[in-house]
Structures are given as C-alpha cells and as structure tokens.
Amino acid sequence: MSPLFTIHIDVFYKLHFFREAIKAIQDQTYQNLEIIISNNGADQEITDFIFETQKTDKRVKVLTYENNIFSFEDPHEFAYVLNNNALNIAEGEYIFYQSYDDLLALDYIERMVKLFEGNPECLTAAGLVASIDEKGIIAKEEITKRSGNFRSRYMPGHEMVLDVLRGGKMFQAPGSIFSFKKEALVKYGGYHRSFELGQLYGIVPFGVTGFDEEAFFYWRRHEGQLGKLLFQRGWMCVKESSSMLNDLNVKERWRSAFGKDITRYAYSRMISSIYEPAARCTVANIFTFNFKGAVRSFSDSFQSFSYWKALPRAIWVKRWLLRRFWNDLFR
C-alpha cells in the first residue's frame, strides 16, 4: 500500500495565490495525501473557501487560528507554531510544508515518495526550485541554465551541508524545500524558529538526502514577499539562528556523528553563515539610507566577531550603491 504523505499549507491573505496552490496540491499525481490547512486568522472570504475545500475533499484537515499569528518582532513565530501544531496531528509517513503563494508541479509529491521509498536511509528529499511571478510565468532559464543544485540522487546529508558551508553548488533554495520522513523530523526536535537553518544544520546532516532534478517546485516572486520586508527592517533571524545551534545541540550531535575536525570547521562556518548575511543587510540599508533597518541588524549582531569580520567585504561588494548615489547627487 502506498504511504500517506502529509502536506501542510498555511494562509492569511492573497486568496488568488492560495487557490492556485491548493488546486496543484489536490491534483497531484500521487493521491494518497493528507492536506492540512492552517487558517492563520484569514478573512471570511478565505475562511469560506477553506470550508468548501474541506467539504469537497475528505483528505483535508483544518487548523483554525482566530487571530493572525504574526509580528515583525518575532516574524518566524507563525512558522514555528503552525508547523509544529500541524506536525502534532499529521498522520503521514512523510511531511512537507508549503507556503500559500508557492506552487508544486503536479508530479512533485510522487517524485518525493519515490525518493524516500527508493532508499530506506533517506530522511529528507527535495526537488529543483525555480521562481514564478505574480502572473504565473515560470523563469524556465533557472531550470535549463541553473547555477546550482548539482548533486546526485542520493548522498549523505552532511556532505551536502559541508558543500553549502564551503560555498559550493550542491544546494540552493529560497525558503523551505525539504520534505521529511516524519519520524526523523520529530526525533530531531521538529520545526525551529530558525526555520531554514534549523532544518539544514539540525536534521538534513543525519541521514541520506534525496534529490530529483525533474521534480519542480515554484516559489513565488511578488512585492509582498516576507523576506523582502524583513530585509528592509533589518531582521535577519540572527538571534533565532544562534539560539538554534544550542537548542538543537548541533555541535555535540555533529561531533558524535562526524568527528571533531569536521565539526570544528562546520560549526565555524555555521556561525559565519548567520552573521555574514546580517553584515550585508546592515551595509545595504546604510547605503540606501534606511537607517532603521541598519540599526536593527547591527544591534542584533554587533557582539559577534564573525559580524565584524564580514563587514569589510560587505562594504566592498555594495560599493556600487554609494557610487550610484553620488552620481545621482551631482547629475
């Protein structure tokens, strides 16, 4: 019998994107699905649509939150709360989280199941990412002329993560791309507030990771993207990611699994991967005179040596912003 696969999706606004996302989930070639919808304080129109969807599709479960769980002071709280609540009720052997505005190719889940079922050591699986705009136009060149995600169908997860830490080309993806064997996700602590790095550093390394370059996942580019808004506000998940390394006991688990030398290098690069983006955020916001965002990223990061070490390079890389400013000023 084919295993049950759980897809969790949350929604608060932008019904037109959510309609597309749900239809692609319901129309998957792999039909043995459990679909968990988190109604994150959505308006009545979206709530009615969710109700109709549940009424017509017995695979759908709904978690309802009376008030929207979101704050710019704790932007990943909603992902932490909603995903772990969904994980607690999920009955699938495998689980995947999708944002309301992203889109799955119709055979995506079928390909993920084949990855998991094809190797009993496979704990995580992913496909190939390409962007899609508000009108539904796919950036196909990101698939045909991709610059990353060059890896084999199966490989040890820690080797892929080490390549990421070295700046290699084995893995590139915005947001959350991994499907999980549910028992592994639960074993390693579920979803963390440092949503993406918690998965990459705390779960993926401890088993085989699967990859199908013909399984397409389309992430949506639009003006309301949360990542863009957070960058402008100077929030780079620094405190959450630093806490994650301790909360998930990353250093000790890596040392136990892969030895001291590998762990020493990997852990150092993990720290850098947290503070280097924060340095870039500070510089970009200063150079565009967004001082509020610059102060936020600085105040979250200034106590780390890795942050100060990354600042000179961030300034050098973004020097063109200053040049453009002076050119515009004296034009």
- Cα 23 to Cα 8, 105, 233: the distances in Å are 14, 11, 34
- Condensed to tens digits (0 to 9), the pLDDT of residues 17-41 reads 999 999 999 999 999 999 999 999 9
Q: What integer is the mean pLDDT of 209-216? A: 98
Do 147 and 172 form a contact (C-beta atoms < 8 A)? yes
Do 296 and 233 form a contact (C-beta atoms < 8 A)? yes
Q: What integer is the mean pLDDT of 317-331? A: 60
Q: Where are the domains of the chain?
A: 5-220, 226-329
- In this prediction, residue 225 carries a pLDDT of 77
- In this prediction, residue 291 carries a pLDDT of 93
- In this prediction, residue 325 carries a pLDDT of 53
Helices (H), ranges, 121-218: 141-144, 157-165, 182-187, 195-202
- In this prediction, residue 329 carries a pLDDT of 47
Contacts of 9 (CB under 8 A, 6+ apart): 18, 21, 22, 25, 35, 36, 37, 38, 97, 98, 99, 100
Do 262 and 254 form a contact (C-beta atoms < 8 A)? yes
Instruction: Show the 3-state SS of 47-113.
Output: HHHHHHHHHHCCCEEEEEECCCCCCCCCCCHHHHHHHHHHHHHCCCCEEEEECCCCEECCCHHHHHH
Of 136, 114, 134, nearest to 125 by C-alpha is: 114
Band of the pLDDT at 326, cuts 50, 70, 90?
low
Q: Which two tokens stand for residue 45?
A: 């129109």
Q: Give the CATH class of 5-220.
A: alpha beta
| Cα–Cα distance for residue pair 143/30, rounded to 1 Å | 23
Q: What integer is the mean pLDDT of 143-167? A: 96
Q: What integer is the mean pLDDT of 141-160? A: 95
- In this prediction, residue 1 carries a pLDDT of 76
Of 151, 34, 153, 26, nearest to 90 by C-alpha is: 34
- Condensed to tens digits (0 to 9), the pLDDT of residues 68-112 reads 999 998 989 999 999 999 999 999 999 999 999 999 999 999 999
Q: What integer is the mean pLDDT of 169-177? A: 88
Q: What share of the chain in percent tops pLDDT 90? A: 86
Amino acid at 218: Y
| Cα–Cα distance for residue pair 235/229, rounded to 1 Å | 9
DSSP per-residue letters across 229-262: HHHHHT---HHHHHHHHHHTTHHHHHHHHH-HHH
Highest mean pLDDT among 228-237, 265-274, 279-288: 265-274
